[in-house]
């Protein structure tokens, strides 16, 4: 995937771009105007999407699209294959696979393939996918719901609301103030879908998507255009009768929550669809670990709780919460913490921080886990098991001599994760990390 749009700049994680007199996706240069917009956005949200340097900015571990007017910066992960940096197309495909598996958005394998080779920036490609899928599903049959409507009618329909009827129609008695259940398209779910469609129409990143969204808006003529707050978005639910719309509703929530344009002090529309790779990697591994161990007599839990490092006056202090745990009944088999970080075999302990090892030691001790795993993405020619350490004087079984272990392991994220073979290899690596 090579983005040829001069208004779209592609950066890798931790890659820098310059501050200059004009925007250039070729030389990777932005202007002071775009810098000001990014700075203001980061101050407002608290998310450090970019780090500021001397006449430059550097991408961080946030990936996705940041748009300013009709220009955008697309950040993709820095992933190595065994020999070299993974090209843009498979990198984008693996990112989309991880984002989908992590539960941010529902994407079929065919949709991931389509988005991978789309020349649009990632945000615009998501919006394009939304418009196309919404058009297909809505024209199969719109969402209709029974809604109670109160209206002062010229005829009697439904239940007569006597107090209001007397108040409004005491003189003009040819009307009836009633409440009736009407089977209509104007309902909360349809309103949410239309609100997201309206955002697609208003965005400036891709004129093609804007035109397609505008062409679909007449299909929603009878649906009210509502400005949803974040809380109102999350309260919209899909029942079994309209289950086919669930992926669209989830994507609409993402569009309204993260992709809605806000105005910068300079008057530019600002868009953001960015994902923290630390969270993406953790949620991706959690989802795939469930699949990898399906059929085994074990239970996989995310965000394991119930233990503390210390006690004070009978109360737990400094709560311990491993990312993942594998249990057999009440027995802990393995605890895992994920780290989206590059290991370096040329550095002491492969660049594993001492603080992380202290944390893993506490997990193993307090949860009585025979195996705790620090799981990193695999870069270059790293081994699947980088190092294995044992607790001092912690033999669990005196007959077998098994000790509590801390394992530093890696997972190959350069393999084609959207393919069957790629997923099988991933599940093999995860199983090996857990059981050795």
Please write the tens of the pLDDT for every residue from 53-84. Answer: 999 999 999 999 998 888 999 999 988 776 67
Indicate whether 313 and 357 sit together in one domain. yes
Last residue of a domain, one of 217, 244, 277: 277
Last residue of a domain, one of 184, 208, 241: 184
Indicate whether 199 and 93 sit together in one domain. yes
Residues pairing with 324 in the sheet? 302, 336
Residue that wins the pLDDT comparison between 169 and 11: 11
- Residue 419 is assigned to a structural domain of this protein: yes
Cα 140 to chain center, whole Å? 28
Indicate whether 214 and 83 sit together in one domain. yes
- Per-residue confidence band for 45, with pLDDT thresholds at 50, 70 and 90: confident
pLDDT of residue 1: 46
- Residue 250 is assigned to a structural domain of this protein: yes
Q: What are the structure tokens assigned to 299, written together?
A: 């239970």
pLDDT of residue 74: 93
Residues pairing with 276 in the sheet? 62
pLDDT in tens, 99-158: 999 988 888 888 998 888 888 888 888 899 999 999 999 988 888 766 666 777 766 676
Whether the Cβ atoms of residue 128 and residue 96 lie closer than 8 Å to each other: no
Last residue of a domain, one of 184, 212, 246: 184
- Residue 303 is assigned to a structural domain of this protein: yes
Residue 29 above 50 pLDDT? yes
**What average pLDDT does this structure show over 391-404?**
62
Residue 46 above 90 pLDDT? no
- Residue 1 is assigned to a structural domain of this protein: no
Mean pLDDT, the chain, as a whole number? 86
pTM over 0.85: no
Report how far residue 50's alpha carbon sits from residue 39's, in angstroms, rounded to the nearest whole number.
9
Q: What are the structure tokens assigned to 387, written together?
A: 């190092």
Residue 173 above 50 pLDDT? yes
pLDDT of residue 237: 86
Whether the Cβ atoms of residue 288 and residue 423 lie closer than 8 Å to each other: yes
Percent of the chain with pLDDT over 90: 49
Strands (DSSP E) found in 25-70: 29-31, 50-53, 56-59, 62-68
Instruction: Indicate the DSSP class of residue 380.
Output: T
Indicate whether 410 and 332 sit together in one domain. yes
Residues pairing with 78 in the sheet? none
Distances in Å between the Cα of 226 and the Cα atoms of 10, 189, 205, 271 are: 34, 11, 23, 20
For residue 69, give its domain range.
Answer: 8-141+188-277
Question: Phi/psi at 9 (nearest 5 deg)?
Answer: -110, 130
Indicate whether 104 and 240 sit together in one domain. yes
pLDDT of residue 146: 64
Question: How many domains does the structure of the chain reveal?
Answer: 3
Indicate whether 192 and 262 sit together in one domain. yes
- Residue 2 is assigned to a structural domain of this protein: no
Report how far residue 399's alpha carbon sits from residue 256's, in angstroms, rounded to the nearest whole number.
59
Q: What are the structure tokens assigned to 123, written together?
A: 């945000």
Indicate whether 126 and 265 sit together in one domain. yes
Residue 3 above 70 pLDDT? no
pLDDT of residue 398: 41
Q: What is the CA radius of gyration of the chain?
A: 27
Indicate whether 216 and 346 sit together in one domain. no
- Residue 162 is assigned to a structural domain of this protein: yes
- Residue 285 is assigned to a structural domain of this protein: no
Q: 297: domain CATH number?
A: 3.40.1350
Percent of the chain with pLDDT over 70: 88
In total, the chain counts a number of residues equal to 436
Indicate whether 395 and 298 sit together in one domain. yes
In DSSP notation, 109-130 reads HHHHHHHHT-SS-HHHHHHHHH
Indicate whether 78 and 102 sit together in one domain. yes
Residue 399 above 60 pLDDT? no
Residue that wins the pLDDT comparison between 282 and 344: 282
pLDDT of residue 395: 54
Indicate whether 105 and 78 sit together in one domain. yes
**What average pLDDT does this structure show over 379-397?**
79
- Residue 166 is assigned to a structural domain of this protein: yes
Indicate whether 103 and 194 sit together in one domain. yes
pLDDT in tens, 321-332: 999 999 999 899
Report how far residue 175's alpha carbon sits from residue 71's, in angstroms, rounded to the nearest whole number.
56
Report how far residue 209's alpha carbon sits from residue 197's, in angstroms, rounded to the nearest whole number.
10
pLDDT in tens, 207-243: 999 999 999 999 999 899 998 887 888 889 888 888 8
Determine if residue 327 is left, alpha or beta; phi over 0 gives left, psi from -120 to 50 gives alpha, anything else beta. beta
**What average pLDDT does this structure show over 174-178?**
74
Question: Phi/psi at 152 (nearest 5 deg)?
Answer: -90, 100
């Amino acid at each position: 995937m090579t983005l040829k749009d001069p208004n779209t700049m592609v950066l890798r994680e931790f890659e820098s771009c310059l501050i200059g007199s004009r925007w250039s996706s070729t030389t990777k240069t932005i202007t002071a105007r775009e810098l000001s917009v990014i700075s203001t956005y980061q101050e407002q949200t608290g998310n450090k999407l970019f780090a500021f340097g001397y006449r430059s900015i550097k991408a961080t571990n946030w990936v996705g699209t940041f748009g300013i007017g009709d220009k955008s910066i697309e950040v993709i992960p820095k992933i190595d294959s065994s020999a070299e940096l993974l090209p843009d197309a498979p990198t984008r495909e693996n990112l989309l696979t991880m984002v989908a598996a992590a539960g941010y958005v529902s994407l079929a394998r065919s949709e991931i393939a389509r988005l991978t080779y789309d020349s649009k920036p990632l945000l615009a490609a998501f919006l394009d996918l939304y418009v196309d899928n919404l058009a297909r599903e809505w024209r199969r049959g719109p969402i209709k719901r029974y809604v109670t409507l109160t209206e002062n009618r010229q005829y009697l329909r439904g239940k007569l609301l006597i107090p209001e009827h007397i108040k409004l129609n005491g003189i003009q008695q040819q009307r009836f103030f009633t409440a009736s259940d009407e089977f209509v398209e104007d309902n909360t779910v349809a309103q949410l879908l239309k609100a997201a469609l309206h955002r697609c129409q208003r965005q400036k990143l891709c004129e093609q998507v804007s035109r397609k969204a505008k062409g679909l808006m007449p299909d929603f003529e009878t649906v009210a255009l509502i400005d949803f707050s974040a809380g109102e978005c999350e309260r919209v639910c899909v029942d079994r009768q309209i289950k086919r719309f669930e992926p669209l509703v989830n994507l609409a929530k993402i569009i309204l929550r993260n992709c809605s344009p806000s105005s910068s002090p300079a008057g530019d529309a600002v868009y953001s669809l960015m994902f923290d790779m630390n969270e993406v990697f953790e949620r991706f591994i959690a989802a795939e670990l469930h699949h990898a161990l399906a059929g085994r007599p074990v239970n996989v839990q995310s965000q394991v709780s119930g233990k503390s490092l210390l006690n004070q006056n009978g109360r737990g202090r400094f709560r311990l919460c491993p990312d993942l745990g594998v249990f057999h009944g009440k027995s802990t088999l393995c605890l895992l913490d994920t780290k989206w970080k590059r290991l370096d075999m040329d550095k002491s302990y492969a660049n594993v921080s001492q603080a992380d090892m202290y944390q893993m030691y506490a997990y193993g001790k307090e949860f009585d886990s025979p195996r705790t795993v620090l799981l990193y993405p695999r870069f270059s020619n790293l081994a699947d098991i980088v190092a294995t350490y044992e607790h001092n004087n912690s033999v669990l079984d005196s007959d077998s001599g098994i000790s509590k272990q801390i394992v530093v392991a890696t997972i190959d994220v350069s393999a084609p994760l959207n393919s069957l073979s790629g997923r099988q290899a991933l599940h093999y690596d995860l199983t090996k990390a857990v059981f050795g």
